[in-house]
Structure formats: C-alpha cells, structure tokens
C-alpha cells in the first residue's frame, strides 16, 4: 500500500510539474492589433472575438489591445510598424501586400471570384497558404484570411447605371497600383488615399466617390456624404490576418499554438458575421437615402471587357504561372 501511495505521489508531482511548465511557457504579453474599420464593423467584430479567444486560451496572460478606425495610421504605415515590431498585428486587404510580395496582387484582379465559396477555397487551400508563407521573409507571419466582401462604387455626383457613367468621376482608391490602373482604365480619375483621410475628402468634395464593400460604406457613415451606390461587385477582398514576425519569433510553442487556434476560430466567426452583414448593410444604406443601382448584365460585360488590359498587365508582373495556378484552383470549385 505504501508503495502504491508513493507511486501516486510521484505521478501527481509529475503532472503538477508539467502543468507548471506549460504555464511558464505563456508569459504576460500585450498584443497591439491595429485595423482600419470602425468598432461594430465585421472586421472589428472579428478582432474582438480574436481578443476574447486569446484571453480565454491563455488564462488572461496574453492580452490583445484593439486599435480600430486607423488610429495608428493607414494600412501602409501599419505594415511598416509590424515589420519594425512596434505593432504586433493587423488585418488588411490582402492585395495591399503586393508591395511586399508581388503575388498578392492577384487577389485584386477585377471580377476574379464569383462568390465567397470560390474565395474561401483558394485562400484556405494550398494557393493561399503558399502566399502567406512568403510573408515571413518580409518580417510578417500570415495567420489566415478574413472576409471584407465584394466592393461597390459610390459617388456624390450621379447615378452610375452604365459602364461609361464612371468616366470623369474622381474616385478615391486604396494605395495599390492595380486599383489606380483599374479606375483610370474605366475613365475615372483614380486618387489613392489612406482610409482615415477618406471621410473628410468626401465631405469636402476633394473626391467625388470611393469604392468599398457595403459594410464599410455603412459603418464609415459614407451615406452622409454619398448619395449614389452602384452594385459593381468589381473586386472581392480577402483580408490577410498577419502578425509581426519579430514578435512571433519571441513566442513559445504554446503561445504560438494559442494564437494560431484563436485565429482559426475567429476567422470562421468573422466570415459568418461579414457575409450576414452585407445584405443588411445594403438595406440600411437604402433606408438612409442612398440610391442603389444594379448594373444590367450587358453593362457588367462591358466593364469586364474594359479591364482586360489591367489583368494582362498584372499577369505579366505577377507571373503567368501564379495566375494559371490561381485560375486552376477557382476552376476546381466551379466544376
């Protein structure tokens, strides 16, 4: 009996030691998580969910502090801060990362994805993971992809009911060459600008319009300064969830596991919230007095034809092999 008690004591001590070791692998850390959209937007809801999951899984040792609404600067500033290690995390349009890894530009190809199912298959599959892995050499580490949705055009001047109606509009675009080329090709005057500067620019008529998913248009109160919305659905935005590699490399295996699992769970949550909010956002914009125009199929076909030179240009710079690989992945889902 004494021998059994002795063995039981040893087992209990070993278990306690293992628990203590696991606990020691999780240090008290603060993770600054910066992003562009306002509190209440699906992007912010995903970030909040991630923060809650990290706290829960780490026993409140890892704390995620949220900085919504571009309070720490625009996307390009935030990427630079991640690389320098002064900000730990962000989520942003994946195409913006083309400035770091050229292949990310494919996510901004116009009229690429027909629906969210196609986008998820590509981003969650081998292609999406391959691109995220390339970020490590740029001092960032990819954790997954969130949903921002299909982008639509708004403006304060006139209803855009035909492809040719875009001509002459001064349209704010994100600071990405493909967006500039896309809207210039459609006859607009593309004006790149950080997101935090957009509302005052619209209010002061520095620009006539902008293009974003419905949820962003609603949460950013653009209905106050934009009276026309056209459902162009010209680009679908997967958003890259990334963490500073400088910070990532400091983490223990247990801490990385906690953040990775929280990222996966928050991704599933965020996508569901974002897609459910898209239709309700459009209804809310209509209620706020925005005139919504749906382009006839013939006009969408004209837009597709007009943007072919843009696709050809960026296929050459990204690499034909990469584009072919992407198209093959989309084809698998469609067939």
pLDDT at 24: 63
For residue 114, name the pLDDT band (cuts at 50, 70, 90). Answer: confident
Instruction: Quickly tell me which residue has 């691109």 as its tokens.
Output: 131
Q: What whole-number distance in Å separates Cα of residue 255 and Cα of residue 106?
A: 32
pLDDT at 109: 95
Q: Residue 242: is its pLDDT beyond 90? A: yes
Report yes or no: 314 and 105 within 8 Å, Cβ to Cβ. yes
Report yes or no: 43 and 37 within 8 Å, Cβ to Cβ. yes
Q: What whole-number distance in Å separates Cα of residue 321 and Cα of residue 315?
A: 9
Q: What whole-number distance in Å separates Cα of residue 283 and Cα of residue 259?
A: 36
CATH class, range 28-334: alpha beta
Q: So where are the chain's domains?
A: 28-334
Q: Residue 6: is its pLDDT beyond 70? A: no
Please state the rounded mean pLDDT for residues 311-321: 94
List, in sequence order, every residue forming a beta bridge with 146; answer none if it has no partner: 239
For residue 15, name the pLDDT band (cuts at 50, 70, 90). Answer: very low
For residue 188, name the pLDDT band (cuts at 50, 70, 90). Answer: very high
Q: Rounded to two decimals, what is the model's pTM? A: 0.83
Q: What whole-number distance in Å separates Cα of residue 220 and Cα of residue 70?
A: 12
More confident residue, 298 or 24: 298
pLDDT, mean over the chain: 92
Percent of the chain with pLDDT over 90: 87
Q: What whole-number distance in Å separates Cα of residue 235 and Cα of residue 43?
A: 17
Report yes or no: 280 and 149 within 8 Å, Cβ to Cβ. no
Q: What whole-number distance in Å separates Cα of residue 45 and Cα of residue 170?
A: 32
């Amino acid at each position: 009996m004494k021998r059994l008690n002795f063995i039981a004591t040893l087992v209990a001590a070993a278990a306690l030691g293992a628990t203590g070791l696991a606990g020691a692998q999780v240090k008290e850390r603060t993770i600054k998580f910066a992003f562009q959209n306002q509190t209440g937007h699906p992007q912010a809801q995903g970030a909040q969910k991630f923060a809650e999951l990290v706290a829960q899984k780490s026993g409140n040792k890892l704390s995620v502090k949220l900085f919504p609404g571009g309070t720490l600067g625009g996307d390009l500033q935030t990427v630079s801060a991640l690389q320098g290690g002064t900000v730990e995390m962000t989520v942003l349009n994946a195409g913006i990362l083309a400035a770091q890894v050229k292949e990310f530009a494919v996510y901004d190809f116009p009229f690429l994805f027909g629906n969210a199912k196609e986008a998820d298959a590509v981003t969650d599959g081998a292609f999406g993971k391959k691109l995220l892995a390339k970020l490590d050499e740029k001092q960032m580490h990819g954790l997954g992809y969130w949903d921002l949705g299909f982008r639509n055009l708004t403006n304060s001047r006139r209803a855009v009911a035909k492809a040719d109606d875009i001509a002459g509009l001064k349209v704010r675009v994100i600071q990405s060459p493909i967006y500039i080329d896309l809207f210039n090709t459609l006859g607009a005057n593309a004006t790149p600008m950080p997101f935090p500067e957009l509302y005052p620019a619209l209010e002061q008529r520095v620009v006539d319009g902008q293009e974003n998913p419905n949820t962003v248009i609603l949460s950013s109160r653009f209905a106050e300064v934009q009276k026309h919305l056209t459902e162009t659905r010209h680009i679908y935005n997967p958003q890259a969830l990334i963490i500073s590699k400088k910070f990532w490399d400091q983490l223990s295996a247990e801490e990385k596991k906690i953040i990775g699992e929280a990222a996966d769970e928050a991704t599933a949550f965020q996508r569901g919230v974002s897609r459910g909010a898209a239709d309700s956002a459009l209804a809310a914009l209509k209620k706020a007095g925005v005139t919504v125009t749906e382009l006839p199929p013939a006009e969408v076909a004209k837009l597709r034809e007009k943007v072919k030179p843009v696709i050809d240009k960026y296929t050459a710079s990204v690499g034909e092999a990469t584009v072919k690989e992407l198209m093959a992945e989309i084809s698998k889902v469609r067939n």
